Amino acid sequence: MEPKVMEPREENLLRSMTQTSWRFYAWVGFLGTILLVGLVAFIQQLRHGLIVTGMRDQISWGIYITDFVFFIGISHAGTLISAILRVTNTGWRTPITRMAEAVTVFALCIGAPIVIIDMGRPDRMLNIFRYGRIQSPIIWDVLGVSTYLTGCILYFYIPMIPDLALLADRPEMSAWRRRFYRRLSLGWRNTAAQKKLLERAISTMAVFIIPLAVSVHTVVSWIFAMTLRPGWDSSIFGPYFVVGAIYSGAAAVIFSMYVLRRVYHLEDYIKPLHFRNLGLMLLSFSMLYLYFNINEYFTAGYKLQGMERTLLDRLFVGDYAVIFWTAQSVCVFIPLLIMLAVLGVKRYEHFTIPGMVFASGLVIVGAWAKRYIIIVPTLRSPFLPSGQRLPWEWTHYSPTWVEWSITAAAVAGFLMIYTLLSKVFPIVSIWETREGEVTETEPEAVPITVGAPSRWWKGGAVATSVLLGFLLLSSQSAQGATPPAKHPKPAAISVDWKVLPANTPSVTGSPDEQQPAAPRRVYWYAGRLFNPFSTSENMPPEEKTVAPVAIVATLHDPGGAPIGFKPLEFSLDSGFGTLSFGNRPTMADGRAQLTVRDRRYGTYPVKVSFRGDDEYAATSFQVRVNFGERPAPALPNVGVLITPYATSPVTVPFVLFYGAMWVVFAYVFGYLILWRMRKVRD
């Protein structure tokens, strides 16, 4: 393919990749310094542990987790906006999809490792894979974020392939760069058949990335929503976080659009139209986010339940009030007003770009503060505040220089990746802008529409088959504790015992049925409710009614004549002490009966003793009484999702969903791009 004659705006775009000014080096140096400080802080933290942070037992998550949620949130809009615009085939999208996707990929590259910094033992990171439990929200996040990162990298890379081939032919690129681009372009020859394959790959990815993105921020919110904490124990956390994520991400896209337009002079690509259209989207999401905020706090504030009241007091008027109202204003109120003015009022229309950029900046900063407000005050208000008799700094949280440095380094790292990779890859899609921009001449005409038909499902069958392997551990049956056997002394008491029929009818069978309960299958502990295919044989047996035990003691003299009307004391040796049942008098026939109706299992030595009086000497007799078999060792069947192994109710949905995503990735990238695209003939 001979180098096509390029338009001036494309020449300008290429110049952004080949020419660097002193400002670029100064900027990189500045970011590098911040990164270096962050590195020093991290080394400090590795050496001394998390004690160098402001976190303590009560507030055990701080701004690291805030950063994590923030960056995962920022990552949301890029791909989502790009995917929605592609699926709906919106014409004006073409110059901005690449930079939106870039925001996503780079934010994820920063957001995902931050949890490792937050870990107390980063050296044991691989335990996540060795011992991972699918029941834990942390593992859902590992699964979700890694799938999402892979998907976003593919979704960033696949639409770039034609551009890479184009760059490989450009004379202004150095030889090694041309080789690099040639390699990455995977044999792209710009034929019609290849183009068709690429279109299919992109549209398939676009369709699947939308539910994936929604799921990822939902599982991030579930880290919090799956706890019993006031303020987190909320059913709207999933959509609340997803909307917040798209909101902050859209702001990041607008902000990066502005910066790149300014720095690389991309005015020919990125027009006021883009700011206006994305601005309308940001405006609608700010209203949606406001709605979620009202919903979240109004429902809690109306009821003022227990610790929720303490939490709301702290947020609204207490020690977090300043940051709470600042965060809400900066994140929602002020941007909302600015956007309403520049987008809705005709006379402020010429402020659209600066207004939108300012609003986006506020949203980004506010989104971070909002995450902080969600995380820290809740941890400050537990049901049992462990702060009693602890110093102030163990119950209050203020981030230390280490945490601030690492946070600054995370932001700097994001900007650094963006800066450097914008020199490697064209930040605007060249081939798409050549063909795509149909509505360029008539701005204002295309609002965001949803519902245009997509063609992904024509593309071929998507098979979903997933396997999960587990480690098999052998189990050992435990042995019941046997109390030491004692020989009964020849004495004047003889004891007999028998199990009486239970008064209340037993649920599972006859009362004298004393078989040990069958060991319960581990995978059913996850709760019967969840399991559509469970049958009664798999259900844990109902608790049996314990049959009463009658212990009859006879007091007699050595000759065998019964001794009546004397007190006999009954007691039982339990594991730690002697449980006394008190005295029972012997009747005229010398018999005293004790009926034990306790909820007791196992065999115990029961001692019947006579204190002795003037007539008869003291004596005692011991007998081993079986109160019924102990149940086999098992986990409590009320425990939901506490099993040591994976259980079906959580495993199947997560593995199916994310497994399906990996199958799609394999189909799109492995089959369509790597395999078919090389083979295809015109």
Is 224 one of the binding residues for another protein (CB under 8 A)?
A: yes
Instruction: Choose the stretch contacting another protein; rule: CB under 8 A; options: 3-11, 14-22, 103-111, 118-126.
Output: 118-126
- SS3 state of residue 649: helix
Is 114 one of the binding residues for another protein (CB under 8 A)?
A: no
Spatial neighbors of 210 by CB under 8 A, at least 6 apart, are: 80, 83, 84, 87
Instruction: Choose the stretch contacting another protein; rule: CB under 8 A; options: 33-41, 185-193, 449-457, 466-474.
Output: 466-474
Instruction: Choose the stretch contacting another protein; rule: CB under 8 A; options: 5-13, 149-157, 505-513, 628-636.
Output: 628-636
Instruction: Choose the stretch contacting another protein; rule: CB under 8 A; options: 44-52, 168-176, 261-269, 281-289.
Output: 44-52
Rounded to the nearest whole angstrom, what is the least distance from the CB of residue 51 to another protein in the complex?
3
Shorter beta-carbon distance to another protein: residue 292 or 627:
627
In angstroms, the CA 464 to CA 657 distance is 9
Cα 598 from chain centroid (whole Å): 45
In angstroms, the CA 632 to CA 519 distance is 6
Shorter beta-carbon distance to another protein: residue 8 or 391:
391
Q: By CB under 8 A, name the one of 558, 636, 679, 682 that touches another protein.
A: 636
Is 599 one of the binding residues for another protein (CB under 8 A)?
A: yes
Is 473 one of the binding residues for another protein (CB under 8 A)?
A: yes
Is 229 one of the binding residues for another protein (CB under 8 A)?
A: yes
Spatial neighbors of 247 by CB under 8 A, at least 6 apart, are: 77, 282, 285, 286, 288, 289, 363, 367
Residues 645-664 that bind another protein (CB under 8 A): 645-648, 651
Instruction: Choose the stretch contacting another protein; rule: CB under 8 A; options: 86-94, 171-179, 379-387, 436-444.
Output: 379-387
Is 135 one of the binding residues for another protein (CB under 8 A)?
A: yes
Is 121 one of the binding residues for another protein (CB under 8 A)?
A: yes
Residues 518-537 that bind another protein (CB under 8 A): 519, 521-523, 532-533
Rounded to the nearest whole angstrom, what is the least distance from the CB of residue 633 to another protein in the complex?
4
Number of residues that bind another protein (CB under 8 A): 96
SS (H, E, C) 194-228: HHHHHHHHHHHHHHHHHHHHHHHHHHHHHHHHCCC
Is 392 one of the binding residues for another protein (CB under 8 A)?
A: no
In angstroms, the CA 635 to CA 133 distance is 17
In angstroms, the CA 328 to CA 377 distance is 15
Rounded to the nearest whole angstrom, what is the least distance from the CB of residue 365 to another protein in the complex?
26
What's the one-letter identity of residue 630?
Answer: R
For residue 332, how many other CB atoms are within 10 A of its CB?
24
Question: What angle do the packed helices 334-344 and 352-380 form, to 10 degrees?
Answer: 160
Rounded to the nearest whole angstrom, what is the least distance from the CB of residue 387 to another protein in the complex?
9
Shorter beta-carbon distance to another protein: residue 499 or 640:
640
Residues 401-440 that bind another protein (CB under 8 A): none
Shorter beta-carbon distance to another protein: residue 322 or 638:
638
Is 395 one of the binding residues for another protein (CB under 8 A)?
A: no
Is 55 one of the binding residues for another protein (CB under 8 A)?
A: yes
523: closest CA among 652, 370, 679?
652
52: closest CA among 114, 117, 112?
117
DSSP state of 457: G
In angstroms, the CA 328 to CA 293 distance is 9
DSSP E strands in 119-250: the ranges are none
Q: By CB under 8 A, name the one of 210, 446, 502, 579 that touches another protein.
A: 579
Residues 150-189 that bind another protein (CB under 8 A): none
Q: β-strand 549-555 against 567-573: which pairing, if any?
A: unpaired
Is 461 one of the binding residues for another protein (CB under 8 A)?
A: no
568: closest CA among 630, 508, 618, 614?
618
Is 582 one of the binding residues for another protein (CB under 8 A)?
A: no
The answer to whether 170 and 187 are in contact (CB under 8 A) is no
Shorter beta-carbon distance to another protein: residue 462 or 640:
640
In angstroms, the CA 540 to CA 24 distance is 67
Rounded to the nearest whole angstrom, what is the least distance from the CB of residue 393 to another protein in the complex?
10
Shorter beta-carbon distance to another protein: residue 10 or 141:
141
Is 354 one of the binding residues for another protein (CB under 8 A)?
A: no
Is 580 one of the binding residues for another protein (CB under 8 A)?
A: yes
- SS3 state of residue 572: strand
Q: By CB under 8 A, name the one of 316, 383, 565, 675 that touches another protein.
A: 383
Residues 327, 330, 331, 333, Cα dihedral to 10° = 110
Rounded to the nearest whole angstrom, what is the least distance from the CB of residue 227 to another protein in the complex?
5
Rounded to the nearest whole angstrom, what is the least distance from the CB of residue 651 to another protein in the complex?
8
Rounded to the nearest whole angstrom, what is the least distance from the CB of residue 172 to another protein in the complex?
49
Binding mask 536-575 for another protein (x = CB under 8 A): ------------------------------------x-xx
For residue 670, how many other CB atoms are within 10 A of its CB?
11
Instruction: Choose the stretch contacting another protein; rule: CB under 8 A; options: 181-189, 321-329, 578-586, 659-667.
Output: 578-586
Shorter beta-carbon distance to another protein: residue 503 or 574:
574
Rounded to the nearest whole angstrom, what is the least distance from the CB of residue 422 to another protein in the complex?
34
Q: By CB under 8 A, name the one of 171, 504, 577, 617 that touches another protein.
A: 577
In angstroms, the CA 230 to CA 307 distance is 6
Q: By CB under 8 A, name the one of 505, 639, 653, 670 that touches another protein.
A: 639
Shorter beta-carbon distance to another protein: residue 196 or 597:
597
Rounded to the nearest whole angstrom, what is the least distance from the CB of residue 395 to another protein in the complex?
11
Is 131 one of the binding residues for another protein (CB under 8 A)?
A: yes
Shorter beta-carbon distance to another protein: residue 145 or 555:
145
Report CA-CA distances (Å) from 660 to 146, 333, 666: 14, 40, 10
Q: By CB under 8 A, name the one of 6, 14, 109, 142 that touches another protein.
A: 142
Rounded to the nearest whole angstrom, what is the least distance from the CB of residue 49 to another protein in the complex?
4
User: Residue 573: is it exposed, middle or buried by C-beta count within 10 angstroms (0-12/13-18/19+)?
Assistant: middle
Question: What angle do the packed helices 648-665 and 137-157 form, to 10 degrees?
Answer: 10
Write phi, then psi, for 593 (nearest 5 degrees): -115, 135
Report CA-CA distances (Å) from 491 to 554, 559, 561: 11, 11, 13
User: Residue 662: is it exposed, middle or buried by C-beta count within 10 angstroms (0-12/13-18/19+)?
Assistant: middle
Is 453 one of the binding residues for another protein (CB under 8 A)?
A: no
Rounded to the nearest whole angstrom, what is the least distance from the CB of residue 109 to another protein in the complex?
20
Is 476 one of the binding residues for another protein (CB under 8 A)?
A: yes
Which runs of consecutive H residues, i.e. helices, occur in 493-575?
none
Rounded to the nearest whole angstrom, what is the least distance from the CB of residue 388 to another protein in the complex?
6
Report CA-CA distances (Å) from 576 to 572, 598, 621: 11, 17, 20
Shorter beta-carbon distance to another protein: residue 494 or 514:
514
If you write DSSP's letter for every residue of 360-400 in order, what string do you get?
HHHHHHHHHHHHHHHHHHHHHS-SS-TTTTS-HHHHS----
Is 604 one of the binding residues for another protein (CB under 8 A)?
A: yes
The sign of the dihedral angle between the CA atoms of 653, 655, 660, 661 is: positive
